[in-house]
Every structure is written in structure tokens, then in C-alpha cells.
């Protein structure tokens, strides 16, 4: 299993400022923004129905994934301005390497009565 790192698809910089198109694909129901401390880990779970787009706005992370059915693994890093799609049945562990900020798009909004989150440790 291999992941494609998504970079900006369009950027305009002029005297007014900067405009960046980060992603131009998909159907999303939730937008999450966060700031994490160095060595914090998010994830160690997977989703059966939810696809995630994870994008770094500052900082850096190491991401490890394992497909829960095939066992295929991947490991890669993202820095500021980079993102990645995390698919269904793909457990993920996101370790923040430094103080970092991110945005995350989810194809399904969180439903406490049906959270679509299943524990599956990725990290050793």
C-alpha cells in the first residue's frame, strides 16, 4: 500500500495576500482543525465508512498505516502544505514531530450513536 502526498493544486500570491487551493476533489461532511504538541499521537484506529483527508498547515508528522484486511503497511512524513487521503479499513497512527497545526476533512460527520471508529493499533 502506498499513499500519494497531495500538494497545492493552485496558488495565487499578489499584493492582497495568498490564496491556495489545497484539494479539489471529494464530498465532505466535516472539517476539523487542530493543534498538537510534539510526540502526540492521533489515531490507532480505522473507519469502515469514513474517508479522511489530512492536511498539515504547519509542523511535521510521521504517519503509519496498516490495511486491516490485507496487512499492507506504509510509513511516510508530511510537512506544512502537504496532505494525504486515508481510506476505509486503513488504520492510521499520526505522530506529531513538532508543534503542528492541521485541518482534516471527513466524508461523514461524527455520529456518537454510530462513531465508525474501530481500535486497531498501528504503532509498535
User: Any idea what the CATH number is for the domain that residue 93 is in?
Assistant: 2.60.120.10
With respect to residue 55, please indicate whether it lies within any of the assigned structural domains.
yes
Q: Is the residue at 29 inside a domain?
A: yes
Whether residue 97 is contained in a domain is answered as: yes
Domain that holds residue 24: 10-109
Q: Tens-digit pLDDT profile for the chain (124 aa)?
A: 789 999 888 889 999 999 989 998 899 999 999 999 999 999 999 999 999 999 999 999 999 999 999 999 999 999 999 999 999 999 999 999 999 999 999 999 999 999 999 999 997 5
Domain-embedded: residue 104: yes
Note whether residue 93 is domain-resident: yes
pTM for this predicted structure: 0.92
pLDDT of residue 124: 59
Q: How many domains does the chain have?
A: 1
Q: Is 48 a domain residue?
A: yes
DSSP 5-38: PB--SEEEEETTEEEEE-------SEEEEEEE-T
Amino acid at each position: 500500500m502506498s499513499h500519494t502526498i497531495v500538494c497545492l493544486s493552485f496558488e495565487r500570491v499578489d499584493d492582497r495576500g495568498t490564496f491556495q487551493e489545497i484539494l479539489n476533489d471529494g464530498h465532505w461532511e466535516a472539517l476539523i482543525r487542530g493543534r498538537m504538541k510534539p510526540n502526540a499521537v492521533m489515531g490507532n484506529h480505522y473507519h469502515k465508512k469514513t474517508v479522511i483527508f489530512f492536511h498539515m498547515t504547519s509542523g511535521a508528522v510521521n504517519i503509519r498505516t496498516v490495511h486491516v484486511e490485507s496487512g499492507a503497511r506504509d510509513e511516510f512524513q508530511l510537512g506544512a502544505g502537504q496532505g494525504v487521503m486515508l481510506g476505509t479499513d486503513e488504520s492510521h497512527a499520526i505522530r506529531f514531530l513538532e508543534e503542528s497545526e492541521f485541518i482534516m476533512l471527513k466524508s461523514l460527520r461524527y455520529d456518537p450513536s454510530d462513531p465508525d471508529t474501530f481500535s486497531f493499533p498501528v504503532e509498535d
